[in-house]
Structure 1
Amino acid sequence: MRKSLIAAVMPLAVLCSHAVGGNLSASVKPVLMGDNARLPKIAIITTGGTIAQKKDETGAAVPAVSGVALISAVPDLLTKANVEIYSLCNEDSSRIKPEVWLRLAKLVDKLVKRKDISGVIVTHGTDTMAEAAFFVDACTSTKKPVVFVGAMRDASDMSPDGPENIMNAMVQAVSPDAKGWGVTVTLNQFVNSAYTVRKTNTNNVETFNSGESGYLGYISTGKVIKYNRPMQDICIGLPEKLEQRVELFMSYAGCDGKAIRRAVDSGVKGLVIEAVGSGNVQENVYKAIKYAKSKGVVVVVTTCVPDGPMIPAYGGPGGGATMAKEGIILSRYLRARKARLLLMLALSNKMPEDQIAKLFQH
């Protein structure tokens, strides 16, 4: 019966994978699998990535596996839950855009509010998975598990990691022990908070970790083992549309700040500056930041250093302590890419600058 159902809905999955708007489906309709009334129901949203790719004739991995086919490759899922599959898109995550994440966040928010849905799994490419998970986490508030999962090896690899990762995500999604974690990234058995997770290796299956914050938990022998509680819980709500004129620049030795000034003159609404150390920038970058502030641009300064809170300690032109005294927002924990997304969401929600500043102190 399951095979006939899959065959019947395959055209829908293909349609979703090649729909308008950069492979973004115009209308996402669920495909249902499993009808065991004693099992919970889990929604699975597929967006593409390595987990849904195979090597072409040149040996390069390309999108090749529909959402339904991806989930059907893990038949044991249906021993854990009935599933609703939503094929949102089939896109390499290095090319995905924030408007796709907004649509994803709206879908997740809608699903977690349903009483019959116990949790949500999102399959996504690993290149931008940490950003995507953080984006959704910042938009939605729920105690139900929302698990981002992907793969470092494509589906045609000799030993693909995708199926096991999906199965572990399902174990987490149906477990009472996983409630209250917010949005997580779960690969290679380890569970990471969306707030702290980062990709650390270009090709190793154990690529995601949370640095000094540590893992939230571990999936082993069909069980969730809890280590930690999430470090932060930031939810600022879903905007109707995104203010995307938020740019990211770094301060480096000899940086003249001219690119920042050009961005300001072009009408940018927000800027994130990746500083060094505890929030220190080149003097010309500091002057460019002050220029941006004078034009009404909201500026957030973060650091390139992976771990540790950014506590301003240095004075002088471009010192973190100097900028803090002048009211420039310093991001205590969030690093550049996630800081940009949080600023984008805050501006999209029309938050005043003093409230935005408070967001970055957590």
Structure 2
Amino acid sequence: MKKVAILATGGTISSAADSRTELINYKSGTFTGDEIINQIPELREIADVHIEQTTNFSSMEMTAKEWTILREKALHYLNELDFDGVVITHGTNTIEETAYFLHLTCNVSKPIVIVGSQRPLTGLSSDAHLNVYNAVKLAASEDAVGKGVLVMMNDEINSAREVTKTNTVRLETFQSGQLGFLGYVDNDGVFFYRQPTRIHTAQSQFNELDTQELDPVEIVYSYAGADGNLIRCLIPTGVKGIVIAGTGTGRFSSKELEALVEAKKQGIAVVRSSRVGNGRVIPEEQYEPYGFVSGDNLLPQKARILLMLALKVTKDPVEIQRIFDTY
């Protein structure tokens, strides 16, 4: 029987509400990983599971410190203790960010699956139990080897690079935009229909990187008539990178451009991203003189993570652009 480690971090999947019909107002971190797993005895039929509690709070509190701890623990189980897979229970609000960080930094080909729930563990028709069951099933599957970090929700398998939360409360919230799911977990097995093509995990140049301290990178959301003052406020704070969530193909107002040029002159890396949600941000001639990096189709929150890691190895915008073109 395959050995799967479950690392519990909190979130809705660990929460309780005052009644079974209360699905919004609940307290995160009420249940431990052991208490969650004990409610799913069927897990013992598909894997030999070991549970470790790492944190037990809202995923909004996740920082590079917690990401690094999860990375180290996952690699300990997979590489040192020779477990076959790792499942991480996580709050859904930032599950995609933790997943992408691990996707870029874990030196392993074995499955790492991140799972959460939209409804509290105590909720009527909670999705927590089946999501965890399917996540363990996926982590124990030979077909998941080499696919990078996966997010398992609502029977659907998503790649860490593309997945994002698209609805505040509905169960089908996690989507991978126009690129689609990697596959499904059904009662008769695990089924993949495509696989990630961008570099990740064991092939990543970041998989031996010290990630205890990463340079601060902020995201600025563009909008009609933006005056650039938010960008100027960031310049003296010590920020090392700015991701601009631009309109359309990563564009922004003329005043924002002036502020971004000021930031660039102060040595702050600038990445053009888009607030649209789908499509590539393509290099444009009008921005070439400024040394801005084009974020391809990464969402702003994913571009922030990649830029933080890139700044650990280079400050050269040409090399940073190569990294964004590769990952």
Q: How many residues align?
A: 316
Alpha-carbon shift at residue 121 of structure 1 (Å): 0.4
- For the residues of structure 1 that align with 2:288 and 2:87, how far apart are their CA atoms? 40
Partner of 1:50: 12
Alpha-carbon shift at residue 94 of structure 1 (Å): 2.4
- Alignment gaps of 5+ in structure 2: none
Partner of 1:25: none
Structure 1 residues 26-66: Cα deviation after superposition (integer angstroms, max 9, x where no partner): xxxxxxxxxxxxx1211110000111000148x62112101
Of 178, 187, 200, 1:221 maps to: 187
Structure 1 residues 226-277: Cα deviation after superposition (integer angstroms, max 9, x where no partner): 1111142243233242224211102211111112112112221111111111
Q: Say whether residues 1:339 and 2:303 are aligned partners.
A: yes
Corresponding residue SS for 1:159: coil
Does the 8 Å contact 2:11/2:59 carry over to 1? yes
Change in Cα spacing, 1:110 to 1:116, as seen in structure 2 (3 Å) is: closer
Partner of 2:214: 243
Does the 8 Å contact 1:333/1:361 carry over to 2? no
Root-mean-square deviation over aligned CA pairs: 1.7
Q: Say whether residues 1:324 and 2:288 are aligned partners.
A: yes
Matches for 1:61-100 after TM superposition, within 5 Å: 61-62=26-27, 63-100=29-66
Tell me whether 351-360 or 297-306 shows the greater mean CA deviation: 351-360
Does the 8 Å contact 1:168/1:222 carry over to 2? no
Alpha-carbon shift at residue 109 of structure 1 (Å): 2.4
Of 260, 266, 271, 2:231 maps to: 260
Aligned AA (1:361): D
- Alignment gaps of 5+ in structure 1: 1-38, 313-319
Change in Cα spacing, 1:92 to 1:115, as seen in structure 2 (3 Å) is: closer
Alpha-carbon shift at residue 115 of structure 1 (Å): 5.7
- For the residues of structure 2 that align with 1:160 and 1:147, how far apart are their CA atoms? 20
Moved over 3 A (4+): none
- For the residues of structure 1 that align with 2:306 and 2:152, how far apart are their CA atoms? 22
Tell me whether 350-359 or 78-87 shows the greater mean CA deviation: 350-359
Partner of 2:280: 309
Does the 8 Å contact 2:64/2:214 carry over to 1? no
Partner of 2:67: 101
- For the residues of structure 1 that align with 2:299 and 2:111, how far apart are their CA atoms? 24
Structure 1 residues 185-232: Cα deviation after superposition (integer angstroms, max 9, x where no partner): 010100000000011111111110101111111011140111111142
- For the residues of structure 2 that align with 1:97 and 1:243, how far apart are their CA atoms? 10
Change in Cα spacing, 1:226 to 1:240, as seen in structure 2 (3 Å) is: closer
- For the residues of structure 1 that align with 2:4 and 2:265, how far apart are their CA atoms? 49
- For the residues of structure 2 that align with 1:338 and 1:137, how far apart are their CA atoms? 11
Matches for 1:168-247 after TM superposition, within 5 Å: 168-234=134-200, 235=204, 236-237=206-207, 238-247=209-218
Structure 1 residues 68-104: Cα deviation after superposition (integer angstroms, max 9, x where no partner): 1111111111111112211001111123333211211
Corresponding residue SS for 1:128: helix
Alpha-carbon shift at residue 325 of structure 1 (Å): 4.4
Corresponding residue SS for 1:342: helix
Matches for 1:9-158 after TM superposition, within 5 Å: 39-56=1-18, 60-62=25-27, 63-114=29-80, 116-158=82-124
- For the residues of structure 2 that align with 1:154 and 1:231, how far apart are their CA atoms? 34
Does the 8 Å contact 1:118/1:174 carry over to 2? yes
Aligned AA (2:11): G
Aligned AA (2:116): G
Partner of 2:243: 272
Partner of 2:314: 351
Aligned AA (1:333): N
Work out which of the two has the higher radius of gyration on C-alpha atoms and give 1 or 2: 1
- For the residues of structure 1 that align with 2:190 and 2:111, how far apart are their CA atoms? 12
Partner of 1:281: 252
